[in-house]
A and B are shown apart, each in its own frame.
Chain A
Amino acid sequence: MIEQFFAQMPALVIVLPLLAAPMCVLLHRAALAWFVYLITAWACFGLAFLLFVQVKIGGPISYAMGGWPPPFGIELVLDSFNTVVLLLVTGIGAICSLYAKASVAAEIARERAYLFYAAMLLCLCGLAGITVTGDAFNLFVFLEISSLSSYGLIAMGAKRRALLSAFQYLIMGTIGGTFMLIGIGFLYMMTGSLNMADIAERLPAVADTRTVEAGLAFIVVGASLKFALFPLHVWLPNAYTYAPSSVSAFIAATATKVAVYALMRFLFTVFGAAYAFDELPLGEVLMVLAVVAMLSGSMAAIFQTDLKRLLAWSSIAQIGYIVMGFALASSAGITASVTHMVNHGIIKGALFMAAGALFWRLRTISLNDIAGLGKHMPWTSAAFVLAGLSLIGVPATGGFISKWVLLEAVIEPGHYWLAVAILVSSLMALIYIGRVVESLYFRERTEGQAVPGEAPPIMLVATWTLVLANIAIGVHATPLVGAAERAATALLGGGA
C-alpha cells in the first residue's frame, strides 16, 4: 500500500490539483473552496518534499503515465534539478494558500471566489506539470494550462486595468506558447519523437540542419517571452501590478522560474550544452540580454511610484541574474542559477506578500500612500525591509548566497565585467529598496490619510515564513547550494 503510494507520487503531484480544481467549482462556497485549495496545496508540498528526498537518496525516477512505456507514452522524470524547482513551486503554493484567504476576501467578489481558488489550483497543476514532465509536447500542454489559468487570475484584479493587463499578457503569452510549440514541432519533424530523452538521443544525427537550429531559436524565444527576458518583458509590469495580491505573490515567485526551468531543460537535456553553447553563440547572446535586463530593470525600478510595479521591474532585473548563471553553461553557473531561482522565489514571494498586506489595509500602494506606515504596520514593514535587504544581497540572507555563487561563477572564468554588472545592479536595488524604506519610516502620514492597523495575522504568518526561510538559507546555505550543485551535475551529465 505504502509502496504503491510512493510509486504513484510523481503523478499525484499533478493529478491532485487537477482534480481539486473542479471540486472547488462544484463546492461553490468560498470557504469550502479555500479549504480544498489549502489542503491540496499543502499535500502537493508534502509530495514534492517526499520526491525530493527520494531522488536525493535513490537517484532519478521515471514514471510511465498510464502504464505506456516511454518513448511512446508520456513519461514523468524526476531528477535532482526538477525536484528542487518542484519543491519551490509547491512550497510557495502552500504558503500562498494560507495567505490567499484574507486577501481574496478583500479583493475578489465573494460569489466568484471559488473560481479564483479553482484557477489557482489549475495554475499550480500546470506549473508542477511543466516541472515533472519528460515529454516535450506535454510540457507545452502544461505551459498552456498554467498560462490560461494565470490570465484568468490576473483579470480578477480589483482595478479595471487588470483586464487590459491580462489581455496584454494573453497576447504575449500566447505568442510565447506558440513559439514553443513550433520549436517542439520542428524537433518532432526531425526526430520523430516527443520524449525529451529520446529526442536528445536522436538529435546529434540531424543537428546540423536548419530545421533543428530554427527549432532551438523558436524554443529560446518562446521561453524567453514566458520568463520576460529583456526585451520581451513588456507584459510583466502590468500583469504583476494589477493582479490580485496573492496572485502577484504566487506568479512572481514561481511562473517565471518554471519558464526558465523549461528553457534550461531544453538547452541542457534535449539539445546539450555543447550544441547550444559551443556550436551556436547562444551563451553570448543570453549574457548580453541578461546584463541589459539587470541594469535596465533595476534602473526602471528606481523610478516607479507604485510599490508592486517597482517589485515587478525588480523581477525583470532578477531574471537577468538567473539567465546569466546558466548562460555561462558551466557547473558553477547552473548552480548559481538554481540557487537564485529558489532564493528569488522566496524573496519576491515575501515582498509581494508584504506589499499585498499594505494593499489589504490601504486599497492603494503608491509610495506616497504607504508613507509613515513603519510605525503603524511594524510587522509588515519589517518583513518588507528584511526581504528587501536580501534583494540587495546583504549577508545572512538568501540573496547574499545567490550573489556569492553567481560572482564565483563569473569571476572564475575571468568575466570581470559581468561581476561589475551584478554589483552595479545590486547597488541599484539598494536605491529602490531604500526609497521604500524611507517612505515607510521617514515620512509622516499626512492629514486625510487613514492610519491603518496591522495586517491580519494569517497574512503576517505567511509573509514571515518566507522571510525567515530566507534568513535560514542565508546562515546555512549548504543544503540549498548542495542541491543546486547536484542539479547542475544532473543537467550537464545528461547533455554534454
Chain B
Amino acid sequence: MNEIWLALLVGFPAVMSLAVAASGRWPNLRETVSIATSIALFAGVASFIGPVTAGARPSVTLLEVLPGIGLTFTLEPLGLLFALVASGLWSLTTLYAAGYMRGNEEHAQTRFFVCFALAISAAIGIAFAGNLLTLFIFYEMLTLSTYPLVTHHGDTESRNGGRVYLGILLTTSIGFFLPAIIITYLVSGSITFTAGGLFGNAGLSVLGAGALYVLFLYGTGKAALMPFHRWLPAAMVAPTPVSALLHAVAVVKAGVFIVLKLTVYVFGVDYLAETGASQLMMWVAAVTVLGASLIAMTRDNLKARLAYSTVSQLSYIVLGATMASSLGILGGGMHIAMHAFAKITLFFCAGAIYTATHRKYVSELDGLGYAMPITFSAFFIASLSLVGIPPMGGIWSKWYLMEGAADAGQSALIVVLAISSLLNIVYLLEIPTRAFFHNPRPDTPRRWQEAPWACVIPLSITAAGSIVWFLYPLPFLQLLAPWAPQ
C-alpha cells in the first residue's frame, strides 16, 4: 500500500473538475466524467478499508507549510468512514443532480458540477487531514467551493442566503477555530492528531481546556450548534442536489466529523471524561437537539423543515462526542453514516417532488402519495430511520448513543434523545401521512407522476441503504472497532 495515494485521492476530484469544465459543452460526457470520477474515488477510498481495519495508519506529508507544520494526510477509522460516506453518496448525487438540473432546466450546469467536484476534494481533504492546519485549509476550501453552489440562482434571495452562509462559516472559523489551533500549538507544542490527545501533560487548567473546547466547537460552524446554526437553513436556497449532498452529507458531516476528531485526537476521550471539559458543550448540543426540532415543527417549507431536522440530528453526533465515552464516539460515528443515508433520501425526495410538481410546502403535499408512490415510500423509510425505529439503520446509532450516555452517567441525555425521537415522529412522519392519507387537493395529480428516473433511482437506493444497514451494521462496527464494546 502506498501512502502517496492518500494525497492523490484528495487531489483527484479537483483535477477531474478541470475535465468536467473542459467537457462542459457536451452534458452527457460531462456527467459521465463526474460519475466515473466519483466511482473511482469511492473505489480508491474503499481500498484502504482492509489496511485501516487491520490497524494501519498510513500517513504522508507533502509540503512544509510553516516551519515544523506540514500539509499532512493521515488516515484513521473516523476519517475513512467520513470519506467513504462522502464519496459513496457523491456518485449517487451526481446521477440525481443530472436528472434534477436537466429536469428543472437550471443554468450554469457546468459551473455547478465543477464546484461540486472541488467540494468533494475538500471533504476528502478534511477526512484525511493529519493535523489541524491541514484540516483548516480544507475546511475553508469546502466553505468557499460551496459558496457558488449555494448562490447558484444568482438572485437577491440566494445572495442573501450566501451572505449568511459565508458570514457565519468564515466568522466562526477565522474568529474561533484559528485562535484555538494556535493556542493548542502554543500550549502543547503540536497540532498533529494523536491518539489519546495532546494535552495529557501540557498543564492546561480544566477551565482553560473547557474554554478551548468551546472555541473549537463553535469554531466548527459546520456542526451547526446553536446559536451558529442559521447558515444551514439559509443555504437551502441552493438547488436541491446541493442541499442533499452538501448540506445533509459533505458539509455538515465535515463539521460533526471534526468535532469527533477533535474529541478523540486533540483532547482525548479519557482526558475529557476526567476533566469534564466538554460538559458545557454537551448541554449546548442537547439544547440544539430539542430546539431545532421544535423550530422544524413550525416550518411549512419542506426544505427548511429538513434543514432544521439536520441541525437537530447533527447535535446527536456532537452529543456522542461531548459525553466523553467511547460508546458515544461509536454511536456518533455510526450516526454520521446513518443520518447521511436517511437525510440524503429525504432531500432527494424533496427535490423529486419539486421537479415533478413544483411544490415546496408541506401543506401542498396532501394526497400526492398516489401520484408519487416510490418517492413517498422512500421518504417514509428514511423518516423512520431518523426516528430510530427498526428495521431501519438509525436504530443502531441511537442505541449506541443512549448506551454511551448511560456509560458516561448522563441519564438526562437519554431523556433528551427520547424526546427528540418523539418530535421527529411529529414533524417528519406528518409528511408521508399527508401524502397517503389526506384528501388530495383539487389540482393534485391522481395519476402516476414521478420525477425523472435519474432522480427516482438514487433515492430508492439510499432508502434501501437505510434498511440494509439495519440488517448488516457489521461494516461500521468493524471500522469503528477501536471504540466498539469488546
Q: Which residues of A contact B (CB under 8 A)?
A: 389, 392-396, 401, 403-405, 407-408, 411-412, 419, 423-424, 426-427, 430, 434, 438, 441-442, 474-478, 481-482, 485
Shortest beta-carbon distance, A474 to chain B, in Å? 8
Q: Is the CB of B175 within 8 A of A427?
A: yes
Which residue, of B66, B71, B136, has the highest number of chain A Cβ atoms within 10 A? B66
A173 to B144, CA, bound (A): 41
Q: Is the CB of A423 within 8 A of B65?
A: no
Q: Mark B54-78, 1 if CB is under 8 A from A, else 0.
A: 0000000001111100010000000
Which residue, of A404, A474, A477, A485, has the highest number of chain B Cβ atoms within 10 A? A404
Contacts of A438 in B (CB 8 A): 159, 163
B414 sits at the interface (CB 8 A): no
Q: Is the CB of A407 within 8 A of B182?
A: yes
Q: Is the CB of B65 within 8 A of A442?
A: no
Within 8 A of A (CB), among B131-187: 133, 136-137, 140-141, 144, 151, 154, 159, 163, 166-167, 170-171, 174-175, 178-179, 182-183, 185-186
Complex partner residue of A395 from B64, B133, B179, CB under 8 angstroms: B133
Contacts of B178 in A (CB 8 A): 393, 403-404, 407, 423
Shortest beta-carbon distance, A485 to chain B, in Å? 8
Q: Which residues of B contact A (CB under 8 A)?
A: 63-67, 71, 133, 136-137, 140-141, 144, 151, 154, 159, 163, 166-167, 170-171, 174-175, 178-179, 182-183, 185-186
Contacts of B185 in A (CB 8 A): 408
Closest chain B residue to A405 by CB distance? B66
Shortest beta-carbon distance, B108 to chain A, in Å? 10
Contacts of B136 in A (CB 8 A): 395
Closest chain B residue to A395 by CB distance? B137
Q: Is the CB of B170 within 8 A of A481?
A: no
A-B contact pairs, 23 of them (CB 8 A): A389-B144, A392-B170, A394-B144, A394-B174, A396-B140, A401-B66, A407-B179, A407-B182, A408-B182, A412-B186, A423-B179, A430-B167, A434-B166, A434-B167, A442-B151, A442-B154, A475-B71, A476-B63, A477-B66, A478-B64, A478-B67, A481-B66, A481-B67
Shortest beta-carbon distance, A344 to chain B, in Å? 17
Q: Is the CB of B67 within 8 A of A394?
A: no
Q: Is the CB of A396 within 8 A of B182?
A: no
Closest chain B residue to A473 by CB distance? B65
Q: Is the CB of A430 within 8 A of B65?
A: no
Contacts of A393 in B (CB 8 A): 174, 178
Contacts of B167 in A (CB 8 A): 430, 434
Complex partner residue of A396 from B66, B141, B159, CB under 8 angstroms: B141
| A408-B186, A411-B186, A481-B67 as given contacts; A396 in contact with B166, CB under 8 Å | no
A167 to B133, CA, bound (A): 47
| A407-B178, A481-B67 as given contacts; A395 in contact with B140, CB under 8 Å | yes
| A392-B174, A395-B137, A404-B66 as given contacts; A411 in contact with B144, CB under 8 Å | no
Complex partner residue of B179 from A419, A475, A476, CB under 8 angstroms: A419
Q: Is the CB of B182 within 8 A of A404?
A: yes
A404 to B137, CA, bound (A): 12
Q: Is the CB of B170 within 8 A of A430?
A: yes
Majority SS at the chain A contact face: helix
A401 to B137, CA, bound (A): 11
Contacts of A394 in B (CB 8 A): 140, 144, 170, 174
Contacts of A485 in B (CB 8 A): 67
Contacts of B182 in A (CB 8 A): 404, 407-408, 411
Contacts of B151 in A (CB 8 A): 442
Please name 15 further chain A to chain B contacts, defined as beta carbons within 8 Å, in addition to the given A411-B179, A477-B66, sorted by A numbering: A392-B170, A393-B178, A394-B140, A394-B144, A394-B174, A396-B137, A396-B140, A404-B66, A405-B66, A407-B182, A424-B175, A426-B174, A438-B159, A476-B64, A478-B64
Q: Is the CB of B179 within 8 A of A434?
A: no
Which residue, of A393, A442, A474, has the highest number of chain B Cβ atoms within 10 A? A442
Shortest beta-carbon distance, A459 to chain B, in Å? 24
| A408-B185, A427-B175, A478-B66 as given contacts; A434 in contact with B140, CB under 8 Å | no
| A395-B140, A396-B141, A408-B185 as given contacts; A477 in contact with B65, CB under 8 Å | yes
Contacts of B71 in A (CB 8 A): 475
Shortest beta-carbon distance, A338 to chain B, in Å? 14
Contacts of B163 in A (CB 8 A): 434, 438
Shortest beta-carbon distance, A190 to chain B, in Å? 41
Q: Is the CB of A475 within 8 A of B65?
A: yes
Contacts of B67 in A (CB 8 A): 478, 481-482, 485
A419 to B179, CA, bound (A): 8
Shortest beta-carbon distance, A301 to chain B, in Å? 17
A396 to B186, CA, bound (A): 21
Contacts of B186 in A (CB 8 A): 408, 411-412
Contacts of B137 in A (CB 8 A): 395-396
Q: Is the CB of B174 within 8 A of A427?
A: yes
A423 to B179, CA, bound (A): 9
Shortest beta-carbon distance, A218 to chain B, in Å? 37
Which residue, of A392, A477, A482, has the highest number of chain B Cβ atoms within 10 A? A477
Complex partner residue of B171 from A405, A427, A441, CB under 8 angstroms: A427
Complex partner residue of A475 from B63, B144, B170, B183, CB under 8 angstroms: B63
Shortest beta-carbon distance, B146 to chain A, in Å? 14
Contacts of B174 in A (CB 8 A): 392-394, 423, 426-427, 430
A81 to B467, CA, bound (A): 65
Shortest beta-carbon distance, A61 to chain B, in Å? 26
Contacts of A411 in B (CB 8 A): 179, 182-183, 186
A427 to B176, CA, bound (A): 11
Contacts of B63 in A (CB 8 A): 475-476
| A395-B136, A438-B159, A442-B154 as given contacts; A423 in contact with B175, CB under 8 Å | yes
Closest chain B residue to A416 by CB distance? B179
Complex partner residue of B159 from A389, A392, A424, A442, CB under 8 angstroms: A442
Shortest beta-carbon distance, A390 to chain B, in Å? 12
A411 to B185, CA, bound (A): 11
Contacts of A389 in B (CB 8 A): 144
Closest chain A residue to B163 by CB distance? A434
Which residue, of B166, B178, B186, has the highest number of chain A Cβ atoms within 10 A? B178
A437 to B270, CA, bound (A): 46
A245 to B174, CA, bound (A): 32
A380 to B65, CA, bound (A): 27
Contacts of B175 in A (CB 8 A): 423-424, 427
Closest chain B residue to A444 by CB distance? B154
A124 to B137, CA, bound (A): 36
A430 to B144, CA, bound (A): 12
A423 to B219, CA, bound (A): 13
Shortest beta-carbon distance, B430 to chain A, in Å? 36
Q: Is the CB of A478 within 8 A of B140?
A: no
Shortest beta-carbon distance, A201 to chain B, in Å? 33
Contacts of B183 in A (CB 8 A): 411
Contacts of B144 in A (CB 8 A): 389, 394
Shortest beta-carbon distance, B115 to chain A, in Å? 13
Shortest beta-carbon distance, B485 to chain A, in Å? 38
Contacts of B171 in A (CB 8 A): 427, 430
Which residue, of A392, A396, A408, has the highest number of chain B Cβ atoms within 10 A? A396
Closest chain A residue to B137 by CB distance? A395
Closest chain A residue to B170 by CB distance? A430
Which residue, of A407, A474, A481, has the highest number of chain B Cβ atoms within 10 A? A407
A16 to B179, CA, bound (A): 46
Contacts of B159 in A (CB 8 A): 438, 442
A485 to B66, CA, bound (A): 12
A438 to B148, CA, bound (A): 11
Contacts of A477 in B (CB 8 A): 65-66
Contacts of A434 in B (CB 8 A): 163, 166-167
Contacts of B140 in A (CB 8 A): 394-396
Among all A-B residue pairs, the 6 with the closest Cβ atoms: A395-B137, A478-B64, A442-B159, A407-B182, A476-B63, A423-B175
Shortest beta-carbon distance, A91 to chain B, in Å? 22
Which residue, of B65, B141, B154, has the highest number of chain A Cβ atoms within 10 A? B65
A423 to B171, CA, bound (A): 9
